[in-house]
Amino acid sequence: MPTLARIVGTRLRTAAVRCISPLLLLALWWLAAERGWVRELFLPSPASVVHTFFTLLEEGEILEPLWISLLRTAGGGLLALAAALPLGLWMARSTAVGRLLDTPVTVGLVIPKITFLPAFILWLGIGSISKIALVGVTCVFPLIVAVYHGARATPTVFLWSGAAMGVRGAAALYRVVLPCILPSVYAGVRVAVPVALITTYTAEMVAGGGGLGAALMYAQRMFETPKVFVYILLMLLSGMLLDGILGLLRRWFLPWMEQGQR
């Protein structure tokens, strides 16, 4: 029988071992910058990156672009979800619609949607709207597939039971089908969120118009490498943050979802 102390000890040791490589990388970075192995222009020291972060924070050049990027990501993502839910359900409900939309969805899932960016800029301008639309188009296909598969996997028995208890039509959709597809939709959202974030940043890097991506490109064009590092690290953190939030959401709303399922 492993005692509690031993379990905690093993956990701690594993955690410590897993810190080695990030710390090594950090040490190597620090050493390379400190010893002047690489020029400051190419690789600023960690200290100067941290310093730049706080300067930028004071100047308001961190929170504002971060906020813009996150809003665009959320806007596009929610738009995609709002479109994917009815479309996916309809495809699952009606064989004709399912057959009709099968090809567009398969094609849409595979093609690189970022290619449409110049077209979206032409139609919707270089502001937020074209980016939100692109994020929406990028996320809508995996979400449709998730909703569709979730709805197809809803046991007919549940619908029958619901009908026997007087739950029909719209009520059945809301009380039987939606709870059934939630885990599948969640899995789709988990795929779509990083994609939305990546698309937002990429669109900003290409087209400008504010946000972290535009700030990053601006810093690079000015050869302000510490700023480049700050913005890259922020993008890294924003991705980790959103993933963490999704994990929390699952714990709150889908506690019955299996652990192994993602």
Partner 1 sequence: MKAVAQHLVAPLLILIAWQALCTTAIVNTQFLPSPAQIASAFWELSHDPTTWRSLWVTTLRALAGLALGVLAGVPLGVGMATSRLVDHLAGPLVAMTYSLPKVAVFPLFVLWLGVGHATAILSVFLACLLPIIVHTFQGVREVPRVLLWSSRAMGDSALRRLLKVQLPGSAVQICAGVRVALGFAWVVAISTEMIAAKEGIGKSVFVYGESGAYAFMFAGIFAILFVAFAIDRAWLWAAHRWLAWSEAREER
Closer of 92 and 177 to partner 1 (Cβ): 92
200 closest CA partner among 160, 245, 242, 257: 242
Query: Shortest approach of partner 1 to residue 174 CB, angstroms?
Result: 29
212 closest CA partner among 76, 93, 61, 111: 61
Distances (CA, A) of 16 to 21, 31, 130: 10, 22, 45
d(CA 8, CA 237): 28
Binding mask 23-52 for partner 1 (x = CB under 8 A): --x---------------xx----------
Is residue 236 close enough to count as binding partner 1 by CB under 8 A?
yes
Closer of 62 and 121 to partner 1 (Cβ): 121
Options 197, 209, 214, 226; binder of partner 1; rule CB under 8 A: 197
N-term to C-term CA, the chain:
31
Distances (CA, A) of 210 to 54, 70, 127, 132: 20, 12, 8, 13
Options 3, 35, 36, 103; binder of partner 1; rule CB under 8 A: 103
Options 206, 211, 214, 226; binder of partner 1; rule CB under 8 A: 206
Query: Shortest approach of partner 1 to residue 27 CB, angstroms?
Result: 14
Closer of 176 and 207 to partner 1 (Cβ): 207
d(CA 53, CA 51): 5
Query: Shortest approach of partner 1 to residue 157 CB, angstroms?
Result: 26
Q: Of 209-228, which residues contact partner 1 (CB under 8 A)?
A: 213, 216-217, 219-220, 223, 225, 228
Distances (CA, A) of 200 to 95, 139, 186, 211: 35, 11, 21, 9
Options 9, 30, 86, 104; binder of partner 1; rule CB under 8 A: 104
Q: What is the DSSP letter of 114?
A: G
Is residue 110 close enough to count as binding partner 1 by CB under 8 A?
yes
Is residue 194 close enough to count as binding partner 1 by CB under 8 A?
yes
Q: Is 48 exposed, middle or buried (0-12, 13-18, 19+ CB in 10 A)?
A: middle
Is residue 205 close enough to count as binding partner 1 by CB under 8 A?
yes
Is residue 91 a contact partner of residue 148, using CB atoms and an 8 Å limit? yes
Binding site for partner 1 (CB under 8 A): 14, 17-22, 25, 41-42, 99-104, 107, 110-119, 121-123, 194, 197-198, 201-202, 205-206, 213, 216-217, 219-220, 223, 225, 228-229, 231-232, 235-236, 239-240, 242-243
